[in-house]
Chains A and B, each alone.
Chain A
């Protein structure tokens, strides 16, 4: 089943990886159209070119329209002025005609003659600036010709200055302005245009114009204006015949159109720019030019026509204006369009570049993602590999442990037993470590869950110490642990993780330390301020004391005398804390109450070493995985550098934080602060029992003297002895101890009479010269007939020669090798004092079993498993712990047995069973229970008020150690799970959860 799960897990991983790749592959719009990008750019450029062409055209058209408007307005202006001036002249000629008619015909005799006319017209010539001259021609019929010729004394001539041939009528000029005097006596009827004019004029009675022709005098182009002059007043509405009849003569004037227009244009602005032509368009097919050049130059494309009305309805005139030059190219429009195009081109290119960049970045991104997925897959593979390898290592380790267990059951000396026990503990720790390697994968996946179970912090620290004792002994290091008295015996937390943290830190320290000591300290971190305040005080206080104590100038007040990195945290604060604790012990009552009140306790754990330290540059990345101080470190010391990163993870997971102080070549001190729960009183009493069995109580009340020159070390020794319930005194050297003994003994043992004297090897060696004192000590004891105190030598490492010497010097009893552990001291003391029995030691070892025994004893337990062998083994194991076991071979059989009210205290259920599996069976049991609970609550609501509803603890048995099934177990109503086959610790943890709270007598 485990395999199946593992496979499905692997399967799910690959599926997830695929999904990830699938979903992250969502292309963006740009990415999807990447092939089209150059085409988009081309299209954009084309569109923009088109657009700028359009803009150019628009602006150009605008210009043209404006040009045209300017032209038309100029043209119209010119036409109007010409027309006005012409009109003025025509009016004046009209007035002249009336003058002639008034004074020549109504007066008799005529008031006008040639002279008068000439003078008058010359003097009023300014009124008719456009007329080169005016003349009056009288109408002479053929019958009157002779009389007329006679009267004037000249013959009527034609235009060609020949005597006029005979006609019906004549119109000889009789009065003329001086400027045109050459036409006097010429018959106006002889000229084609004039004749036509005359005929039209008398028929209409209005001013009429000839078509343009070359004038006689100036050879300019001109027109002749003719007014009829009537000799009698006409009727109000005269007919044409009446007009013809009444006609007396004709007044005519020649308009010099050419000079007229020339003058006019000269007065106006913009004369140079435009070209003006005036046409007579009476005959619409043949336009006669009146002004301007016939050959058309200038801008032929653009012209404007303006109508001219010169007052003759018969004739039509028009003015045509042109620009001299072609329309200039519009630079504004051109540059605008061009700039627009350029800008658009640039914008297009920028967009294109951006798109290309996006595509590239996205490509890179996808590549990275793929790499990441691959890396993650590799990580999963690595974790699986680790799991497999760890599993493979476990198998031979089990063999080793089994053999050690066999060995321990044989008859061994205490040293041998200690070695074998150490080997076994180390082996167990190794297996734990392997499990921790398995957990590493979980830490990385963030799936690690912390347990909250009560555990004994001190024994864990002892275990860790024993794990490294061999190494430290070989290196000659002092390895010691000290736990302040204020730290509760049992705390709630995750013992495995705590042990892992300590193991990592101590392991690191051992690895990097060649001389000196490694010191693990645990105390309660309360409000740190008072400590700081008091520290100064302690320094002052301690100053004089210590001065006496320290022999060498270069000795430091640390465990081994070597300098430690974190000076503040070493002796001063240590001593202070120790003093504070002593104080507190005196006034313990109040404080403990306060302590008990709080739910949690914050512990400050420091691991101090005198190793090589961490280089300053490397200190930043100490907690980064796989980072050792430098590459040479791993060459010299080995290791992966992952320990500290895991440690940091774990500490943070526990809600604490870790820090360190390190000085190269001096040492490092790692310090972490974390919070544990306090054990509840009820459970405390339960577990205390087990704890008490941990250490033999037979030494309670014994008195001991510790002889040690180094106060820190002495305190550590005292701590261990105190744990055994002994009363301890500390002496600085052998002499003091001896004198103390002497004094005590001389006062008849009213005070301390030591049962044991523990002497530190250093102190013994320094006091060796004065070995007589030891003898004296012995002697004195002898002399006073007291029980001989046992002399015990404490040493980190000792040579055989030294050992012999020690034996000779009186340490015949035993030598305790450091690091000190309470259980080890107990073992040695048992040997020395002869109080202990071997059985007791063995019992201490089997501590878990006895605890389980106390938990399970007398319980009635149902084991459900379809496999008869499994059933039998499980039953056997549970019976061993004193439980009454019944078996069921299937889920259905279990259901039958589990009718309410329950007669069982717990049920161990296999998960995979035919017909009805463990989950289903549990579900049904829970259903049954909840129904009954409801009924009970409904029935006896006010009753006994027991909240203790029916709930049978059901534990799954599974071969799958990984937490994978745990959720499922809990989901279907199980209370937990145990591994199959049972492992004691695991079983204990699972069972402790619900048996602990109930007192044993309850069942």
Chain B
């Protein structure tokens, strides 16, 4: 029981820090609320969908921006838009904000800026991924220890 309590506290700390650092916003909380008996793995499912989708998009962008000349900014912009949409949906605020900056560089057709932003987005993305994965791990551990997830509701 002690372990469960500890894990639960850790879990709360972790998710609080996620909010505090602005990595996720209340949309993520909303998302967590959507998870109930009917769809017990909803958050994990959506978030892994997001990871898959985002990695594909990031690769696309990186490939498109590799060209020194004649970068298809339209395509990059479309990818960024996608990423922004999905990150906003799961409440990944910092990724979303990075995407917003990214799009303005796309519109300006500034390759340098785009590369910089891609770096930033990638960074934010991996940060998010790490944090979320550890959150999920904690969740698993709590469940495994027989406790209930404190803020899942």
User: A744 to chain B: closest CB distance in Å?
Assistant: 46
User: A883 to chain B: closest CB distance in Å?
Assistant: 12
Q: Is the CB of B82 within 8 A of A398?
A: no
Query: What DSSP secondary structure best describes chain B's contact surface?
Result: helix
1/0 per residue, CB under 8 A from A, across B9-34: the answer is 00010001001101001110111011
Give the one of B53, B78, B86, B93 with max A CB within 10 A: B86
Question: B85 touches which one: A405, A409, A870 (CB < 8 A)?
Answer: A870
Q: Is the CB of B30 within 8 A of A877?
A: yes
Q: Is the CB of B88 within 8 A of A877?
A: no
A982 to B12, CA, bound (A): 25
With A409-B151, A877-B34 as known contacts, state yes or no: A981 contacts B88, CB within 8 Å: yes
Decide yes or no whether A35 CB sits under 8 A from chain B. Answer: no
For window 37-58 of B, CB contacts with A under 8 Å fall at 38-39, 42, 45-46, 49-50, 53
**B28 to chain A: closest residue by CB:** A402
Residues of B within 8 A of A405 (CB): 29
For window 60-97 of B, CB contacts with A under 8 Å fall at 78, 81-82, 84-91, 93
Residues of B within 8 A of A873 (CB): 31, 34, 46, 89-90
Q: Is the CB of B25 within 8 A of A3?
A: no
Question: B26 touches which one: A402, A872, A879 (CB < 8 A)?
Answer: A402
Residues of A within 8 A of B39 (CB): 876, 879
Decide yes or no whether A406 CB sits under 8 A from chain B. Answer: yes
Q: Is the CB of A981 within 8 A of B30?
A: yes
Q: Which of B100-108, B110-118, B135-143 contacts A (4 or more CB under 8 A)?
A: B100-108
Interface size on B (CB < 8 Å)? 41
With A866-B82, A873-B46 as known contacts, state yes or no: A402 contacts B29, CB within 8 Å: yes
Residues of B within 8 A of A877 (CB): 30, 34
User: B112 to chain A: closest CB distance in Å?
Assistant: 19
Q: Is the CB of A869 within 8 A of B53?
A: yes
User: B85 to chain A: closest CB distance in Å?
Assistant: 5
User: B48 to chain A: closest CB distance in Å?
Assistant: 10
Decide yes or no whether A4 CB sits under 8 A from chain B. Answer: yes
Residues of A within 8 A of B45 (CB): 872
With A7-B107, A409-B151 as known contacts, state yes or no: A867 contacts B89, CB within 8 Å: yes
Residues of A within 8 A of B42 (CB): 876
**B22 to chain A: closest residue by CB:** A395
1/0 per residue, CB under 8 A from B, across A83-112: the answer is 000000000000000000000000000000
Q: Is the CB of B88 within 8 A of A872?
A: no
**B52 to chain A: closest residue by CB:** A868
Residues of B within 8 A of A401 (CB): 26
Decide yes or no whether B123 CB sits under 8 A from chain A. Answer: no
Q: Is the CB of B19 within 8 A of A868?
A: no
Q: Is the CB of B12 within 8 A of A879?
A: no
Q: Is the CB of B151 within 8 A of A869?
A: no
Residues of B within 8 A of A867 (CB): 53, 82, 85-86, 89
Decide yes or no whether A553 CB sits under 8 A from chain B. Answer: no
A409 to B152, CA, bound (A): 10
Decide yes or no whether A236 CB sits under 8 A from chain B. Answer: no
Interface size on A (CB < 8 Å)? 33
Q: Is the CB of A981 within 8 A of B93?
A: no
With A395-B93, A981-B88 as known contacts, state yes or no: A869 contacts B46, CB within 8 Å: yes
Decide yes or no whether A1 CB sits under 8 A from chain B. Answer: yes
Residues of B within 8 A of A982 (CB): 30
Q: Is the CB of A981 within 8 A of B27?
A: yes
A869 to B83, CA, bound (A): 9
Residues of A within 8 A of B90 (CB): 869, 873
User: B31 to chain A: closest CB distance in Å?
Assistant: 6
For window 55-70 of A, CB contacts with B under 8 Å fall at none
Residues of A within 8 A of B153 (CB): 409
Q: Is the CB of A403 within 8 A of B82?
A: no
User: B61 to chain A: closest CB distance in Å?
Assistant: 15
Decide yes or no whether A959 CB sits under 8 A from chain B. Answer: yes
User: A840 to chain B: closest CB distance in Å?
Assistant: 16
Decide yes or no whether A399 CB sits under 8 A from chain B. Answer: yes
Residues of B within 8 A of A874 (CB): 89
Q: Is the CB of A398 within 8 A of B85?
A: no
Q: Is the CB of B25 within 8 A of A398?
A: yes
Q: Is the CB of A870 within 8 A of B89?
A: yes
1/0 per residue, CB under 8 A from B, across A868-891: the answer is 111011101101100000000000
Residues of B within 8 A of A912 (CB): 81
Residues of A within 8 A of B27 (CB): 981
A3 to B26, CA, bound (A): 21
For window 906-953 of A, CB contacts with B under 8 Å fall at 910, 912, 914
**B25 to chain A: closest residue by CB:** A398
User: A900 to chain B: closest CB distance in Å?
Assistant: 30
A982 to B31, CA, bound (A): 10
Decide yes or no whether A735 CB sits under 8 A from chain B. Answer: no
User: A820 to chain B: closest CB distance in Å?
Assistant: 30
Decide yes or no whether A195 CB sits under 8 A from chain B. Answer: no
Residues of B within 8 A of A723 (CB): none
Lowest 7 A-B CB distances belong to which pairs? A869-B86, A398-B26, A873-B89, A876-B34, A870-B89, A869-B50, A867-B85
A/B interface sample: 23 pairs, CB < 8 A: A4-B107, A7-B104, A395-B22, A395-B93, A398-B26, A402-B25, A402-B29, A403-B16, A405-B29, A406-B151, A409-B153, A867-B85, A867-B86, A868-B86, A869-B50, A869-B87, A869-B90, A870-B89, A877-B30, A879-B39, A880-B33, A880-B34, A981-B91
Extra A-B contacts (9), CB below 8 Å, given A914-B78, A980-B88, A981-B91: A3-B100, A399-B25, A402-B19, A869-B53, A869-B90, A873-B90, A880-B34, A959-B85, A980-B85
